[in-house]
């Protein structure tokens, strides 16, 4: 094998319709796969053959991959792509319509250029000293690239610290980081080896995805070594160097969209998953848990708190002080069916906690072990791990019999009672011993080499159980841990955060990092999970931030025994109740954003720089974010604030949701920010769908309306909104409707067209469209007729009667 002095010399050995293969005299291979105009894959094989397992990540535009994984040479889902290749002066050049890849035959070093505005810009180059590991050091996987000054790096899933990962380093190995510090703790729960590099000077960038299941490390420039210049690097403990380069000119969002497409279609989940979800460990840990759970419903009714679901913590499975998955404690829950039915009568779904590890004294442990369903050592004993307050063994989801057993338990222990969701928790699979073996669907391998695969297969088994039990209903699942492709199955959250103002600020950045890594359906434990109880102001500010996220759950296990509830501070109960109602007002917009995530791979949450990459002020790591492309949200993340300063991006105009006041971009404005009115600004040229029906607990109501900021001069403002039954799979057969609102404007008039199409029947014959009250231009109805208008709260509300 090659050494530092004699690095491999490559030559072209094969060229097919979509692949160029380079091979060295000592058997090393580099395979270049042209998958699309904007995606090229590089597979580096120092020994000439694959060492790692199949892939469960790559699913281009697909709902899923085969249960046993996808062959790494399977190119299904990729359309044929025209490209050219040439060889001269010691280099091979592969070029598509967007990418020019140059590979040096001496050493295999790659240089990447992408095309923007007719010019080729170099965006990435391998480090000229030992970019890859061709047997130089050990059997680990290495990739070193040069680092450019001024470039930004975002992604890698939920990471602590600033949104820009440049000059930081991160370990990617899933751990149960209870009470983590959102600014400093590393590693955390998820394994997403993908990041986006953005180079503001040229408005170019790229996404880089390393398709590995192994524990890995990313250094984004924190490390310095005089012998190698400025660089960053990736190291994986096992497997192969198999990476995907995704070109992203003009906006970094292109790389996010394409990475999401590459790794599968996000799940289309039921609409009730956007409602408020109650949760606390306190209720189910109590000896009278069923009574405490009933009291939650009573308090929601008393305080008129809207609620769609409740996350049932693992105390329902307890025997003594320990937790045993799929075991119901019938002293705490003497009438399981009646308990579930009582919640469903109020329109509240239950999402029970399930864990993938059986404690050694679990009632089913011996039978499960005898059936070979656990991860075992090489001599066939259970591979013992520490889990909660006991020793146990993880189930092995690379064994089809384990999957069957799991699905059967989910059905009989949960779904049979009328429960229709699962909360997949504590599923980091912390296996560190090389002596623990996974069955690997008939090809055993050390379990610690692909821990996150177990996590993925667990959530998939839970989803499949729900599909098999109720094939006509959309599954709803939540998972704390996960990896690339988890968006095909679950909603997620940022785990067991610590209660502090600092957590509130940095959880915002965590959510943006997840969204820029292809995982949009996410949220946080509102109020903080571990540590002290949040004070009244912190709780209110956290709720005022949380209502804008796809997942909205107030959850806690406070060290002082208190419970985070909407009514925990009487002086804030009405404020929090009103914020939750604001959340329900925004659900049509959030539902449309999740539909666009499913249909077009659009990220729901967006950093300001990603939406406005041409504005230098938006490159700063601030506390604002975009909710979709239409709504700027500026949460208060510091105590004692009653106002919020907001930078409005260059070349834009904005309207305050609360006052209708219109502001030009390119300036900093100061907006009032009382506890019950989070700063929300609607972007010019956009239309947002709302639910304006009066809402009360257990009395769901829905009436569609739209709020818009038309262009000041000539232009067309647009907005759309998906409608379906919110729960079933009938949408797959076309049972959907779609609102479309178009407002064409000129100096004198607003021409409003409201259209509804689709198989889902329209349930209202009139619609309200609101524009700022300062816009006094004449209204022309392009569809239907105007039947009245009035001004209130700074907005001009126009009611249209739609044509039959």
Which segment of 130-134, 300-304, 380-384 scores lowest on mean pLDDT?
130-134
Do 358 and 456 belong to one domain? yes
Q: Which residues, other chains included, contact 192 with Cβ-Cβ below 8 Å and sequence gap of 6+? A: 155, 156, 157, 172, 483, 484, 514, 517, 518, 519
Q: What is the pLDDT of residues 727-756, one digit of tens each?
A: 999 999 999 999 999 999 999 999 999 999
Do 797 and 668 belong to one domain? yes
Q: Which residues, other chains included, contact 132 with Cβ-Cβ below 8 Å and sequence gap of 6+? A: 44, 46, 108, 126, 142, 143, 144, 241
**φ, ψ for residue 173 (rounded to 5)?**
-150, 120
Measure the CA–CA gap between 484 and 211, rounded to whole angstroms.
9
Q: Which residue has the tokens 């003009």?
A: 250
What pLDDT does residue 558 have?
87
Q: What is the pLDDT of residues 670-679, one digit of tens each?
A: 999 999 999 9
Q: What is the pLDDT of residues 4-26, one digit of tens each?
A: 566 899 999 999 989 999 999 99
In a domain, 301, yes or no: no
Number of neighbouring beta carbons within 10 Å of residue 366: 12
Q: Average pLDDT in the 359-363 region? A: 98
What pLDDT does residue 114 have?
98
Res. 442: pLDDT tops 70? yes
pTM score = 0.98
What pLDDT does residue 803 have?
87
**CA distances, 720 to each of 208, 595, 629, 663, 783 (Å):** 32, 11, 12, 24, 16
In a domain, 542, yes or no: no
Tell me, what CATH number does 688's domain have?
A: 2.60.40.1180
Res. 1: pLDDT tops 50? no
Residue among 501, 533, 531 nearest 638 (CA): 501
Res. 443: pLDDT tops 80? yes
**CA distances, 504 to each of 68, 170, 261, 541 (Å):** 40, 21, 30, 9
Helices and strands counted in the chain (H then E): 11, 53
> Which residues in 211-251 belong to E strands, given as ranges?
216-219, 231-236, 241-249
In a domain, 107, yes or no: yes
Do 252 and 332 belong to one domain? no
Measure the CA–CA gap between 231 and 237, rounded to whole angstroms.
20
Do 99 and 226 belong to one domain? yes
Residue among 167, 201, 170, 166 nearest 185 (CA): 170
Tell me, what CATH number does 364's domain have?
A: 3.20.20.80
Q: What is the pLDDT of residues 488-501, one digit of tens each?
A: 999 999 999 999 99
Alpha helix (H) ranges present in 8-65? Answer: none
Do 740 and 656 belong to one domain? yes
Q: What is the pLDDT of residues 51-110, one digit of tens each?
A: 988 999 999 999 999 999 999 999 999 999 999 999 988 999 999 999 999 999 999 999
The answer to whether 294 and 342 are in contact (CB under 8 A) is yes
What pLDDT does residue 389 have?
84
Domain ends where: 217, 245, 262?
Answer: 262
Torsion of CA 507, 508, 512, 513, to 10 degrees: -30
In a domain, 341, yes or no: yes
* 728: region left, alpha or beta (phi > 0 left; psi from -120 to 50 alpha): beta
The answer to whether 74 and 271 are in contact (CB under 8 A) is no
**φ, ψ for residue 484 (rounded to 5)?**
-60, 125
Q: How far is CA 268 from the centre of its chain?
A: 13
Residue among 577, 568, 588, 584 nearest 630 (CA): 588
Measure the CA–CA gap between 32 and 15, rounded to whole angstroms.
10
Residue among 605, 632, 461, 581 nearest 519 (CA): 605
Map 349-405 to HEC letters.
EEEEEECCEEECCCCCHHHHHHCCCECEECCCCECEEEECCEEEEEECCCCHHHHHH
Q: How many domains does the chain have?
A: 3
Domain ends where: 241, 262, 283?
Answer: 262
The answer to whether 309 and 275 are in contact (CB under 8 A) is yes
The answer to whether 153 and 607 are in contact (CB under 8 A) is no
What is the enclosing helix (H) or strand (E) of 575?
helix 570-600
Q: Average pLDDT in the 757-780 region? A: 97
**Owning domain of residue 438:** 324-493
Do 256 and 109 belong to one domain? yes
- Mean pLDDT over all residues of the chain? 97
Q: What is the pLDDT of residues 688-720, one digit of tens each?
A: 999 999 999 988 789 999 999 999 999 999 999
Q: Which two tokens stand for residue 316?
A: 């329902």
Domain ends where: 493, 515, 550?
Answer: 493
Alpha helix (H) ranges present in 443-569? Answer: 451-469, 501-515, 536-546
Q: Is the dihedral of CA 211, 217, 223, 224 positive or negative?
A: negative
The answer to whether 486 and 492 are in contact (CB under 8 A) is yes
Measure the CA–CA gap between 251 and 255, rounded to whole angstroms.
8
By CB atoms closer than 10 A (0-12, 13-18, 19+), residue 62 is middle
Q: Which two tokens stand for residue 190?
A: 């998820």
**φ, ψ for residue 382 (rounded to 5)?**
-60, 140
In a domain, 235, yes or no: yes
What is the enclosing helix (H) or strand (E) of 240?
none
Res. 561: pLDDT tops 90? no
> Which residues in 267-356 belong to E strands, given as ranges?
277-279, 309-312, 318-319, 322-323, 349-354
The answer to whether 662 and 654 are in contact (CB under 8 A) is yes
Q: Which residue has the tokens 């500026």?
A: 634
What is the enclosing helix (H) or strand (E) of 666?
none
In a domain, 514, yes or no: no
Residue among 774, 768, 767 nearest 793 (CA): 774
Do 198 and 339 belong to one domain? no
Tell me, what CATH number does 26's domain have?
A: 2.60.40.1760
How many degrees, rounded to 5, is the angle at CA 407 between CA 404 and CA 411? 140
Do 347 and 199 belong to one domain? no
Q: Which two tokens stand for residue 42?
A: 């590089």
Do 257 and 337 belong to one domain? no
Q: Which residues, other chains included, contact 762 with Cβ-Cβ below 8 Å and sequence gap of 6+? A: 737, 756, 802
In a domain, 582, yes or no: no
Do 211 and 343 belong to one domain? no
121 preceded by cis ω (within 30°)? no
In a domain, 520, yes or no: no
Q: Which two tokens stand for residue 308?
A: 């769609």
Measure the CA–CA gap between 129 and 146, rounded to whole angstroms.
10
By CB atoms closer than 10 A (0-12, 13-18, 19+), residue 670 is exposed
Do 235 and 329 belong to one domain? no
Res. 2: pLDDT tops 80? no
Measure the CA–CA gap between 15 and 456, rounded to whole angstroms.
35
The size of the chain, in residues, is 804
SS3 content of the chain, % helix, strand, coil (to 5): 20, 35, 45
The pLDDT confidence band at residue 278, using thresholds 50, 70 and 90, is very high
> Which residues in 616-675 belong to E strands, given as ranges?
625-627, 631-634, 643-648, 653-656, 662-664, 667-672
What pLDDT does residue 4 have?
57
């Amino acid at each position: 094998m090659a050494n530092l002095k004699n690095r491999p010399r490559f030559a072209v050995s094969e060229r097919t319709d979509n692949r160029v293969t380079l091979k060295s005299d000592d058997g090393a291979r580099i395979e270049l796969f042209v998958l699309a105009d904007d995606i090229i894959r590089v597979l580096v094989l120092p020994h000439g053959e694959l060492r790692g397992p199949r892939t469960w990540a790559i699913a281009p535009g697909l709902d899923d991959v085969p249960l046993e994984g996808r062959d790494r040479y399977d190119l299904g889902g990729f359309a044929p792509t025209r490209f050219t290749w040439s060889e001269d002066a010691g280099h091979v050049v592969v070029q598509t319509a967007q990418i020019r890849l140059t590979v040096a035959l001496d050493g295999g070093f790659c240089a990447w250029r992408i095309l923007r505005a007719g010019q080729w810009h170099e965006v990435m180059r391998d480090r000229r000293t030992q970019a890859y590991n061709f047997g130089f050091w050990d059997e680990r996987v290495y990739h070193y690239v040069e680092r450019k000054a001024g470039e930004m790096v975002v992604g890698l899933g939920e990471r602590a610290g600033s949104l820009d990962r440049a000059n930081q380093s991160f370990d990617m190995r899933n751990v149960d980081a209870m009470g983590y510090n959102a600014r400093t703790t590393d590693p955390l729960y998820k394994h997403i080896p993908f990041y986006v590099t953005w180079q503001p000077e040229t408005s170019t960038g790229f996404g880089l995805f390393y398709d590995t299941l192994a524990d890995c490390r990313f250094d984004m420039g924190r490390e310095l070594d005089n012998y190698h210049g400025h660089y960053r690097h990736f190291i994986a403990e096992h497997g192969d160097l198999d990476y995907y380069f995704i070109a992203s000119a003009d906006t970094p969002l292109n790389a996010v969209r394409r990475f999401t497409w590459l790794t599968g279609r996000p799940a289309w989940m039921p609409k009730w998953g956007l409602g408020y979800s109650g949760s606390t460990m306190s209720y189910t840990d109590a000896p009278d848990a069923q009574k405490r759970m009933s009291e939650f419903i009573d308090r929601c009714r008393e305080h008129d708190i809207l609620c769609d679901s409740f996350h049932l913590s693992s105390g329902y499975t307890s025997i003594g002080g320990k937790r045993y998955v799929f075991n119901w404690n019938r002293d705490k829950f003497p009438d399981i069916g009646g308990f579930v039915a009582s919640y469903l009568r109020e329109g509240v779904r239950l999402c029970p906690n399930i864990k993938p590890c059986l404690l050694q004294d679990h009632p089913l442990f011996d039978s499960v072990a005898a059936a070979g369903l656990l991860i075992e050592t090489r001599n066939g004993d259970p591979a013992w791990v520490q889990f909660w307050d006991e020793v146990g063994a993880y189930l092995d989801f690379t064994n089809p019999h384990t999957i069957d057993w799991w699905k059967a338990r989910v059905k009989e222990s949960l779904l049979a009672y009328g429960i229709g969701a699962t909360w997949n928790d504590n599923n980091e699979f912390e296996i560190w011993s090389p002596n623990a073996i996974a069955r690997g669907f008939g090809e055993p391998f050390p379990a610690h080499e692909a821990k996150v695969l177990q996590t993925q297969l667990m959530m998939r088994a839970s989803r499949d159980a729900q599909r098999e039990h109720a094939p006509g209903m959309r599954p709803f699942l939540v998972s704390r841990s996960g990896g690339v492709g988890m968006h095909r199955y679950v909603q997620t959250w940022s785990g067991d955060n610590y209660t502090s103002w600092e957590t509130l600020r940095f959880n915002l950045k965590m959510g943006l990092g997840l969204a820029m890594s292809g995982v949009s359906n996410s949220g946080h434990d509102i109020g903080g999970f571990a540590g002290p109880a949040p004070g009244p102001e912190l709780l209110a500010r956290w709720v005022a931030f949380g209502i804008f996220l796809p997942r909205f759950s107030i959850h806690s296990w406070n060290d002082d025994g208190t419970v985070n509830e909407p009514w925990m501070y009487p002086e804030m109960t009405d404020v929090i109740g009103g914020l939750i109602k604001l959340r329900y007002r925004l659900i049509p917009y959030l539902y449309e954003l999740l539909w666009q995530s499913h249909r077009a791979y659009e990220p729901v949450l967006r950093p300001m720089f990603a939406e406005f990459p041409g504005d230098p002020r938006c490159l700063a790591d601030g506390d604002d974010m975009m909710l979709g492309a239409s709504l700027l949200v500026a949460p208060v993340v510091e105590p004692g604030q009653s106002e919020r300063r907001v930078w409005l991006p260059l070349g834009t105009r904005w309207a305050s949701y609360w006052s209708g006041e219109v502001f030009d971009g390119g300036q900093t404005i100061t907006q009032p920010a009382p506890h019950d009115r989070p700063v929300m600004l609607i972007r010019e040229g956009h239309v947002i769908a709302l639910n304006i029906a009066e809402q009360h607990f257990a009395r769901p109501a829905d009436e569609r309306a739209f709020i818009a900021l038309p262009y000041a001069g000539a232009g067309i403002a647009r907005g759309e909104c998906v409608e379906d039954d919110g729960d079933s799979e009938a949408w797959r057969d076309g049972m959907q409707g779609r609102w479309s609102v178009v407002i064409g404007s000129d100096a004198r008039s607003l021409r409003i067209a409201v259209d509804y199409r689709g198989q889902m029947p329209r349930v209202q014959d009139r619609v309200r469209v609101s524009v700022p009250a300062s816009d006094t231009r004449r209204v022309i109805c392009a569809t239907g007729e105007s039947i009245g208008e009035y001004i209130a709260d700074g907005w001009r509300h126009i009611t249209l009667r739609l044509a039959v």
